A and B are shown apart, each in its own frame.
Chain A
């Protein structure tokens, strides 16, 4: 399960994609000026993290973690169910946060008539 072992192509792809997503998302969140783009960036970061989390539990050739004798008899190697549960939770949370954030962006736009983050700084110092 550890990051160092069985570095095959699939694993590398998973991890690589996840890290790339995180970095892309961070780039968008830190550099783009539009609130919407920042939010998209944050969502991408979220996706990257979720992907990373799922890949940790992945076991090559493993089956779905369901306790049914038929499946287990055929292939006793299951993928780890915990990361999947975590990811489901994280996705739900990410969804909720994004929804709140979008609502805030709408409010900000109505108030400031812009979504440029540089112009929305009434509160400072």
Chain B
């Protein structure tokens, strides 16, 4: 073990203050530093993940105050897997954005500085969300995540970024209001903010408080997890943010949102009916999002709605519960992070020169940008679940998990939704490859850095598709960890493996 979980949060926070200073010395450092920091954190996180998979979770106490009084960070195979995934995606997003041309349009380096600072903080906050073991700390990280995301959404001055960002902020502050209210109810009743401690004491809560807090949590976290009908902000934010940020939203931010819902339902409260709630809401989310995606005329909005739909499927998988369901859900999250990021990254280069990003402007672009188009098509094939690409295995995992629990109707619904997905994705692929070009829009070649990160994602899709076992071991371990609530409580409160 080279480091401890707290470094995952402390180092980027510290670096965030250093970057402007470093930029004064050499402007390129503004671009380089976040990448170096994230790379180091990724190394740290992978190392920690390996350690925890063998030795069980690591609980770190901040400033010597032991839980339930102090704030603790919990690095388990589950949270560690998500943190590693986020950092990995963060690294790829950083590589992709390096020398991303739109940023160079500005004369000064001020926007570049802001971009990299916000991006790094967004990744840090997401990692913080999944690692923290304290519910108020969670609130703080969610707020940091929110503010950075608002900033990045409104990054482009010439687009409707500000509008999207305002919607995001509006709904986001409602979310934080409910979250704070729920935390308040918990604290007033139980006198604790530590998640493990809450889980232990949850049965002491009076039903009325418990249910009120639960509902407030569900709505607050549901907003972050893009659950219907709380997700009005999401398509706008996805489509207006710069391309790498869209990828980061799909790969990182929404994962943090989902994590909160899952932590709430699987660890915090043991309340009957929450799993069914997840399934029903997940299905509704899927339906409406895929319907909307089907009739989109703009590429990024289509991808955004599709992303929401996928999140619905993840919720359903979590709702199925048991180890198979959680495994399937984590697999889906992994695949979604990889594939949807690839789609955002390649898709935005396909419509780079276009002002409105209409899907019809993709006609015949396959001949002009063969590699990028190929990667987009690969992503499309993978996300609709064609074998032998990555998406197939997660879809199969969800279906077998549902079949194990005898939920045949759910399987049927998931499959009928998949039909819609197949149509709208392949419609785009058709346009890219098989329809004659009818616009005179030029193209912009991806930068080598962008091409590199897209190729990495494409390679992962193929590797996982042909040999899913590279990832399934970690996923099984992570899902087992999430379900083992007792050991979570035990580890946090008795501090079996504490680092001070």
Contacts and interface: CB of A to CB of B under 8 A. Distances in A.
A and B touch in the complex (CB under 8 A): yes
Interface of A: 1-3, 22, 29, 35, 38, 42, 45-46, 49, 52-53, 56, 82-83, 86, 89-90, 93, 96-97, 100-101, 104-105, 107-108, 111, 120-123, 125
Given A86-B187, A111-B160, 18 more contacts: A35-B166, A38-B170, A42-B170, A45-B173, A45-B177, A46-B177, A49-B180, A53-B180, A86-B183, A89-B136, A97-B147, A97-B172, A100-B169, A104-B150, A108-B163, A111-B162, A121-B163, A123-B235
Nearest to B150: A100
Contact of B154 (A35, A107, A121): A107
Given A2-B189, A45-B177, A93-B140, A108 B162 contact: yes
Contact of A49 (B151, B170, B181): B181
B133 to A, nearest CB: 16
B230 interface: no
7 contacts: A2-B188, A42-B173, A49-B181, A97-B146, A101-B173, A104-B150, A104-B169
A53 B187 CA distance: 9
B169 A101 contact: yes
A52 B477 CA distance: 41
Contacts of B295: 125
B181 A83 contact: no
A89 B292 contact: no
B191 A1 contact: yes
Interface of B: 136, 140, 143, 146-147, 150-151, 154, 157, 160, 162-167, 169-170, 172-174, 176-177, 180-181, 183-184, 187-189, 191, 193, 235-236, 239-240, 292, 295-296
Contacts of B146: 97
Contact of A105 (B166, B188, B193, B292): B166
A100 B162 CA distance: 10
Contacts of B191: 1
B41 to A, nearest CB: 24
A83 B187 contact: yes
Given A49-B177, A104-B150, A123 B164 contact: yes
B150 A93 contact: no
Nearest to A111: B162
B448 to A, nearest CB: 32
Contacts of A123: 160, 163-164, 167, 235-236, 239-240
Contacts of A93: 140, 143, 176
B189 to A, nearest CB: 6
B120 to A, nearest CB: 17
B187 A56 contact: yes
B157 A100 contact: no
Nearest to B188: A56
Contacts of A2: 188-189
Per CB-CB distance, the 7 closest pairs between chain A and chain B, nearest first, are A107-B162, A123-B236, A56-B188, A93-B143, A122-B160, A104-B166, A108-B162
A57 to B, nearest CB: 9
A109 to B, nearest CB: 9
Contacts of B184: 49, 52-53, 56, 83
A37 to B, nearest CB: 12
A115 to B, nearest CB: 11
Contact of B193 (A3, A38, A82): A82
A104 B154 contact: yes
A2 B453 CA distance: 53
B141 to A, nearest CB: 11
Contacts of B180: 49, 53, 90
A116 B181 CA distance: 29
A97 B143 contact: yes
A125 B172 CA distance: 20
A29 B172 CA distance: 13
A77 B390 CA distance: 60
Contacts of B151: 100
Contacts of A105: 166
A103 B183 CA distance: 29
B297 to A, nearest CB: 9
Contacts of B163: 108, 111, 120-123
Nearest to A3: B188
A17 B147 CA distance: 28
Contacts of A29: 170, 174
A14 B173 CA distance: 23
Nearest to A80: B191
A96 B187 contact: no
B166 A101 contact: yes
B189 A108 contact: no
Contacts of A89: 136, 140
Contact of B136 (A46, A86, A97, A122): A86
A35 B154 CA distance: 16
A22 B167 CA distance: 20
Nearest to A101: B169
A97 to B, nearest CB: 6
A67 B177 CA distance: 32
B234 to A, nearest CB: 11
A42 to B, nearest CB: 5
Nearest to A53: B184
B188 A104 contact: no
Q: Which of B146, B164, B174, B177 has the largest number of chain A CB atoms within 10 A?
A: B177
B354 to A, nearest CB: 16
Q: Which of B140, B154, B176 has the largest number of chain A CB atoms within 10 A?
A: B176
